[in-house]
Structure 1
Amino acid sequence: MSQIDAYSGATIFDGEQRHENAVLLVQAGSVLGIVSEENIPPDCTQHILAGGLLAPGFVDLQVNGGGGVLLNDRPDLDAIKTICAAHAPFGTTSLLPTLITDTPAIRDTAIEAGIAAGKAAVPGFLGLHLEGPHLSVARKGAHDPNLIRPMTEDDLATIKLARQSLPFLMTTIAPESVTNAQIATLKAAGILVSLGHSDVSFETATAAAIAGAGAVTHLFNAMSPLGHREPGLVGAALRTESLFVGLIADGFHVHPAAIATALAAKRGPGRMFLVTDAMSTIGTDQQSFTLNGRTIRRDGGKLVLEDGTLAGADLDMISAIRFMVTSVGVTLDEALRMASLYPAMCLGAHTTLGHLKAGAAADMVHLDQTLEIKSVWRGGQKL
């Protein structure tokens, strides 16, 4: 039997509720359970934390880059390792490296890199998120309109085949470029289909959800807005109970009042969860970089193209959590769920991720009273 590690001294948030004066037991990289201080097993290794909160590691389903690397620029195994490592100090213990709209050749190379990362068990690697190229030019955002195109049967076959060799696969599509039959096929293949970069009507978005779409990518951004006569994709995201909804909480992409209103309106069981949409700047002092030949620069906490268009985010997950608490007024426990449990549920990874109950991966973040990260563990290993 491998040794048991016992973590005490901090309040334990298991992903749903808090435990005071309790001990988290970890063995062989997994959570054994949470027990009272009187029930610590003999001969275990004790780790006494100096107060604060011990919470599940964060799960980020939309990460374009980090550590100076952008997946589009370097769709290889080393880039995936760098991206996963760059986000770990900010509490993200699992993530989907994200490829935005690019050529079929770059997509195929990124898929090969993702399959290699899965085989190599790269720490933190969950699978891939293919954001495009099957989007709407009308809601392109920072995506290159010259590379946006409808999904062909060859595209469908390629993505289905990729899923067989990846732990998880998520793809952002617009119903303008992907049929409901294709959405149903993707869903049946075990792929998480997310609606985004789309100008569709409420009815069309709702039909895509019925066909099998399970999520909406970065709510409010690059999509048909909520109007009083045409609710658009925003309205469908909030009204459709089955849809999970990603959100970039940096104060630039969405106003705090809009976030609060959306949270109040969202019907479940689909939940709203946090994504960083992070680019290569995270964990670096990099001030600019290129994407599909266009310069993107850091500008006071945000990333913009030369014309001022937002281009991804200069955001890490713990900063998003702080923003939700301090600027939106969400409770810390709910903000933590939005960064861990809810994205894990959206992806179907919540058997082992997003919480600290028995059988979960021992992915943990220790926070102090000011929501600064003191320590991070992945699979019980302190990083």
Structure 2
Amino acid sequence: MTQKKALIGSRIFDGSDWHDNAAVVFDSGKILGILPVEQISSEMEKIDGGEIIAPGFIDLQVNGGGSVLLNEEPTVDGIATICAAHAKFGTTSLLPTLITDTFEITSRTVAAGIEAKQQAVPGFLGLHLEGPHLSLARKGAHDPKLIRPMEDEDLDLILSCGLALDALMVTIAPESVTPEQVIRLASAGITVSLGHTEASYDIARLYVHAGVRTVTHLFNAMSPLGHREPGMVGAALDTGSLYAGLIADGIHVHPAAMGAALRAKTGPGKIFLVTDAMSPIGTDITSFTLNGREILRRDGRLTLEDGTLAGADIDMAACVRLVHETLGLPLEEALRMASAYPAEAVQISGSKGLLKPGFDADFVVLDASLHVQGTWIGGSCVYQP
């Protein structure tokens, strides 16, 4: 029989409310509740959590970390390294993300993801396949030679992966995927996301009707908001059912644009934070390779030699600090953007994203300046500085 544990914090945010001088009580990887400190029984193991305890961060777009890029190491070990690298920054669940690649690499990634689930790799939530079924006109850093329409074998592979994983996100563009294919993906419980597309407002809405649920890195690599053609950005903000990822590094999107989008977004769909992180996270490396092309790390930016942005050099805790400190969002809303809202986006909000009874015991411990002091996954401390 395991011993109940109580993680004590000066302040605890459960996803809805704050609790002062309280403890998260958990056992066997699940949360039992939040109690005032004076109600903790002597039978419980007491653990000092520090200033702030909040739901663990959930990142739905993570290309790499710890010197590993998923495209270059589509293995269980590669996935485990990426998850461990981001755990240092408070991320307790993530979707390792495969950038546009060959069918062979995609197949290897799918196999590795299924094995990672079987091995219960800490922090592994599922996969995000970002391409190759995108628009050449909005390719960004994706290799144009590898972008192509979705064929039957692609669809079958994705469907098989969706059945095996707890969460699967697929970024597609209407230029390369039909509404009928989206219907099949969405019907299988796969989170279909629009991104890297020139789609008009009306086309985007058509694909939402087919089952699209999210938008990949809002503003980046998509048709912009215009006063006569609202574009993909307009559809994302105006369509209540859509959730949208946002890279909050101050480089991919100007803070003023972030603030405008947050004020304009129609619900119940929310804007949530993603890092779009690459292999340098948690390291001091200054360059790496993607599809045979060198990516340079300079002054907080990751770019191809021609200056095209290629992912982001930021962690989730830093994203939370930016939207709280630079945009002035209340701390609880900044924390929800990194936990509750991404959980809702991929439909796991019944088990993750909140500190509620029955939820997974995934927490991040922060100091007063919102730097990570501890990360817990499934009731186990996986990082402490």
TM-score (norm 1): 0.98
In the other structure, the counterpart of 1:29 is 29
Structure-2 residue corresponding to 1:227: 226
2:98 match: 99
Cα distance in structure 2, aligned partners of 1:201 and 1:311: 24
- How far 1:21 sits from its partner (Å)? 2.6
Which residue does 2:345 correspond to in 1?
Answer: 346
Contact 2:9 2:20 in 1 (8 A): no
Q: Distance in 2 between matches of 1:326 and 1:286?
A: 28
How far did residue 154 of structure 1 move?
Answer: 1.8
User: Is the counterpart of residue 246 in structure 1 residue 245 in structure 2?
Assistant: yes
Identify which range, 150-159 or 83-92, moves more after superposition. Answer: 150-159
Matches within 5 A, 1:259-270: 259-270=258-269
Give 3-state SS (helix, strand or coil) of 1:230's partner. Answer: coil
Letter in 1 for 2:3: Q
Question: What amino acid maps onto 1:22 in structure 2?
Answer: A
More deviation in 304-313 or 30-39?
30-39
Contact 2:173/2:195 (8 A) holds in 1: yes
Distance 1:48 1:127 in 2: 31
Task: Please tell me whether residue 4 in structure 1 is matched to residue 16 in structure 2.
Answer: no
- 1:355 deviates by 0.9
Structure-to-structure mapping, 1:17-166, within 5 angstroms: 17-50=17-50, 52-166=51-165
- Asked whether the 8 Å contact 2:8–2:22 carries over to 1, the reply is yes
What's the CA shift for 1:8?
2.0
For the residues of structure 1 that align with 2:287 and 2:36, how far apart are their CA atoms?
50
Please name the residue that 2:175 is paired with: 176
Cα-to-partner distance string for 1:34-76 (whole Å, 9 max, x where unaligned): 12233223411112334x1100110000000000000001111
CA distance in 2, matches of 1:153, 1:382: 43
- The alpha-carbon deviation at position 22 of structure 1 amounts to 2.1
Q: Which amino acid aligns with 2:249?
A: D
Which segment is superposed worse, 3-12 or 233-242? 3-12
Distance (whole Å) between structure 1 residues aligned to residue 104 and residue 21 of structure 2: 54
| CA distance in 1 between partners of 2:291 and 2:48 (Å) | 48
Report the AA paired with residue 167 of structure 2: F
Task: Tell me the secondary structure at the aligned position of residue 326 of structure 2.
Answer: helix
Q: What SS class does the counterpart of residue 20 from structure 1 fall into? A: strand
Go from structure 1 to structure 2 and tell me whether the alpha carbon gap of 1:162 and 1:49 turns closer, same or farther (over 3 Å shift).
closer
**Hey, what does 2:377 align to over in structure 1?**
378
SS of residue in 2 equivalent to 1:371 = coil
> Could you say what secondary structure the match of 1:208 adopts?
helix
Q: Output one character per residue of 1:315-357: Cα deviation in whole Å (capped at 9) or x when no partner.
A: 1000111111111111111111000110011111111111111
Structure 2 CA distance for aligned equivalents of residues 97 and 274 of structure 1: 15
User: Paired residue for 1:196?
Assistant: 195
**Sequence identity (%):** 59
Unpaired segments ≥5 residues, structure 1: none
Q: Distance in 2 between matches of 1:49 and 1:64?
A: 30
TM-score (norm: length of structure 2): 0.98
Provide the C-alpha distance between the structure 2 equivalents of 1:273 and 1:36, rounded to a whole number of angstroms. Answer: 30
How many residue pairs were aligned? 382
Instruction: Give the gaps of 5 or more residues in structure 2.
Output: none
Match of 1:331 in 2: 330
Name the amino acid aligned to 2:30.
Answer: S
Residues 73-105 of structure 1, C-alpha deviations (whole Å, 9 max, x = no match): 111111001001110010001100000100001
**Deviation of residue 29 (structure 1)?**
1.2
Q: Which amino acid aligns with 2:10?
A: A
Task: List structure 1 segments (4+ residues) > 4 angstroms apart after TM superposition.
Answer: none
* Residue identity in the other structure for 1:95: L
Tell me the distance in 2 between the aligned counterparts of 1:289 and 1:23. 43
Q: Deviations over 1:107-135 (max 9, x none)?
A: 00110111110111111101110000000
Q: 326-335 vs 65-74, which deviates more?
A: 326-335
Tell me how far apart the structure 2 counterparts of residues 179 and 2 of structure 1 sit (CA, whole Å): 51
